[in-house]
Structure 1
Amino acid sequence: MDPIALKAEFPILSQEVNGHPLVYLDNAATSQKPRSVIEAVKRYYEWDNANVHRGVHTLGSRATDAYEGAREKVARFLNAAASREIVFTRGTTAGLNLVANGYARQVLREGDEIVITPAEHHSNLIPWQQAAKATGAVLKYVPLQQDGTVSVEDVERTVTERTKLVSIAYVSNVLGTVNPIAEIAAIARRNGAVMVVDGAQSSPHLKVDVRALDVDFYAFSGHKMCGPTGIGALYGKAALLEKMEPVEYGGEMIDFVDLYDSTWKEIPWKFEGGTPIIAGAVGLGAAIDFLASVGLEEIDRHGRQLAAYAIERLSAIDGVSIYGPRNRAGLVTFNLGDVHPHDVATVLDSEGIAIRAGHHCCQPLMRWLQVSATARASFYLYNTEEDVDRLADALVKTKEFFGYESAR
């Protein structure tokens, strides 16, 4: 894999910011889009734009083929058993909410348990808080190890025969931790619980096989993996999707409508009420093609190498604290002394370097880390060691700006 050559495929990365070549290190928030994805969306709007599943005219047929073709690509991308197990959503948040509202609230009873971790993104925490409040279920947390990892032994101790649902991120958006999802899913299965996975950070980097992992639900977003914003997908085992009720009602998701009652389409369409995100699905399909051409294994290897290099460079700077395990996916979360992360990010931006600062939608994890916020540099297939060097050099300048001694 040649990240320099790949960078040329992303038009936005050729610009200067504040007089410096852009170094984009905010990929965990959203990735940039290659020319092939931009062109696919443009081509759809220029040639195929029509509503799907309705018209019999040529444009309608082409639009439907493109939309359902994208669903097939997602099914292959995740190794789902069939495309009917793929529901298009607005993203990971919408997918997790669909499970919480369409499945969990139907099956949970008072005293049942929902198990998550303190490291979860708010999108994989608040829906379960609300489901617990609505049903009388109990929310339980697997404790974190000192480095922020999750141990299988702690999962074994936390999940019980009263646990009905376990929901954990495959990759932490703050610590870069890659959780042992297959082992956790096996524990859930032995206790009769359903396994839900937040795949927002794993889908851009890892080759995901939902059948090998044996998970019941898996949600991800397109915009973090070179696709457009506003599109994502939820994988669900067909037997579970068939039992679920829709959470949005209206056109497109119905089979028969009478004055006082209605019936729904088969899965997955009963969950896709209204005009779907057609252009987004087309763009997501193009993004999957692009990632396949590069290779997910290569992307994962590259991201881990950059994270390791970043830890090495940033650890050499006095005052920098790094959070999380050494073995991690492609991101590094850190703080610079008592300088607020927003101030760090502002100075870095003046050097043309884009990072993320704040609580990263993980306030419970920030409290566990005993900080109010952190800075985060997250890497993707077009980043290089030179980008990491730019980050490290700019952090030294940030230290000098705020009156710290030079790096050792």
Structure 2
Amino acid sequence: MSGTLNLEAIRKDFPILNTKVYGKQLVYLDNGATTQKPQSVIDAVDRYYQQYNSNVHRGVHLLSQQATEAYEAARKTIASFIHTKHEHEVIFTKGTTDGINLVASCFGRAFLKPGDSILISAMEHHSNIVPWQMICEEKGATVKVIPMDTKGVLQMDALSALLDDSVKLVACTYVSNSLGTVNPVRDIIAQAHAKGIPVLIDAAQAIQHIPVDVQELDVDFMVFSGHKLYGPTGIGALYGKEEWLNKLPPYQGGGDMIKTVTFAKTVYNELPYKFEAGTPDMSGAIGLAAAIDYVQGIGLAAIQQAEQELLQYALKQLSQIEGLRFIGESPERSGVISFLYKNTHPFDVGELLDKQGIAVRTGHHCCQPVMDFLEIPGTARASFAFYNTFEEVDMLVAGIKKAAAMLD
């Protein structure tokens, strides 16, 4: 066990960790897909529905006022967590994918023209590829790619030449969900800004592992999902610099994003409501705020230290398994270990681990271009959270050895 956290107490906060799978104690190592929820988050969502469930904004009755206060307090909590300059720079979304689609659609409609390009990295999740392809196809623009090497490290010496006059925006993941690589986002942002190019950072795999300060990063847009940060599914946030959000047209039309509507013309609402059409996910926002409160109660610096200790221990122990090879060997990494055992299919390894109560993810992890580049069908991926233990790593190692004996 790590000496930096009281894991025994922390694990008691997560009811699902007591679950049995096929009669065995659950070892949950699929945190990159979604994290488990502490009781305080479950209680916050339950309390909303039991005590003050109501639609937000404009309601004169007490329940609506209570719901509105809690919803806007959640926005304030997120703004403080990521250190925004203004609270209205936080836009509630359905998650990371929704946030990227919002920026791609709005930015593309406002600024892309034939011959322009969007620059992404070679290790992006599909949700940071496909939206840009869609808007580029619509606008006659193209998608360009920062290459990576076989260790899963971006080839930064190629960046300067790629940042030509055609590039209107750079969109890059902070931490690769398939390889665990922590990208040099500060360098990417600095080089892009030197040429007047805005940057979007996908922080879906970073926000729960690494302290993030959007003002220190000087990033123009940043997106993340609540469910990867110990909060509910279906909720996330887009951060955008005020100047950029004011430049962009609204993403969707409907209630809450308007000031006035006539059949002749609509005047759009001010930030952040211009981008929040319709009834929002109030319970999700409240649950996300509760998750952030929980994380901050432990301390993200302490979480980062504990997770790095766990990651290094896992890498050391797994490297002793004959026939196992790591996919992605960046010196800067966080949260994820992807691997293959000899020439066996990762699905077979994952299924045999599942029968031992060990949950890992298998497949291409929504990163088909990464797998194609590495000429593999996919990987088995163990992804960690601060509630995981060294003992669980030992169980993973033993589980892989048992699976290997059956596959050989």
Checking the alignment, whether the CA contact within 8 Å between 2:150 and 2:374 is kept in structure 1 is no
1:202-235 CA deviation, whole Å, 9 max, x = no partner? 0111110011101100000000010000000000
Structure 1 unaligned regions, length at least 5: none
State TM-score, norm by structure 1: 0.97
Residue matched to 1:83: 87
Q: Does 1:184 align with 2:188?
A: yes
Checking the alignment, whether the CA contact within 8 Å between 1:86 and 1:268 is kept in structure 2 is yes
State TM-score, norm by structure 2: 0.97
Q: Does 1:401 align with 2:406?
A: yes
Residue matched to 1:357: 362
Residue matched to 2:390: 385
Residue matched to 1:169: 173
Match of 2:74 among 70, 76, 88: 70
Residue matched to 2:10: 6
Checking the alignment, whether the CA contact within 8 Å between 1:198 and 1:220 is kept in structure 2 is yes
Aligned residue for 2:113, secondary structure, equals: coil
Match of 1:19 among 19, 23, 34: 23
Aligned pairs for 1:7-406 within 5 A: 7-324=11-328, 325-402=330-407, 404=408
Aligned residue for 2:370, secondary structure, equals: helix
Measure how far apart 1:397 and its partner are.
0.4
Aligned residue for 2:403, secondary structure, equals: helix
Q: For 1:305 and 1:140, how far apart are their aligned partners in 2?
A: 36
Q: For 2:339 and 2:103, how far apart are their aligned partners in 1?
A: 33
RMSD: 1.1
Aligned residue for 2:32, secondary structure, equals: coil
Measure how far apart 1:9 and its partner are.
0.5
Q: Counterpart of 2:375 in structure 1: which amino acid?
A: Q
Q: For 1:217 and 1:393, how far apart are their aligned partners in 2?
A: 42
- Percent identity among equivalent residues? 47
Measure how far apart 1:104 and its partner are.
2.4
Once the two structures are overlaid, the 10-residue window that deviates more, 96-105 or 376-385, is 96-105
Q: Counterpart of 1:158 in structure 2: which amino acid?
A: L
Once the two structures are overlaid, the 10-residue window that deviates more, 79-88 or 295-304, is 295-304
Query: Where has structure 1 moved over 6 Å in runs of 4 or more?
Result: none
Aligned residue for 2:227, secondary structure, equals: coil
Q: For 2:124 and 2:316, how far apart are their aligned partners in 1?
A: 26
Aligned residue for 1:252, secondary structure, equals: coil
Aligned residue for 1:120, secondary structure, equals: coil
Q: For 1:93 and 1:241, how far apart are their aligned partners in 2?
A: 18
Q: Counterpart of 2:362 in structure 1: which amino acid?
A: A
Aligned residue for 1:289, secondary structure, equals: helix
Measure how far apart 1:319 and its partner are.
1.3
Aligned residue for 1:184, secondary structure, equals: helix
Structure 2 unaligned regions, length at least 5: none
Measure how far apart 1:5 and its partner are.
2.0
Q: Counterpart of 2:372 in structure 1: which amino acid?
A: R
Q: Counterpart of 2:382 in structure 1: which amino acid?
A: A
Checking the alignment, whether the CA contact within 8 Å between 1:163 and 1:191 is kept in structure 2 is no
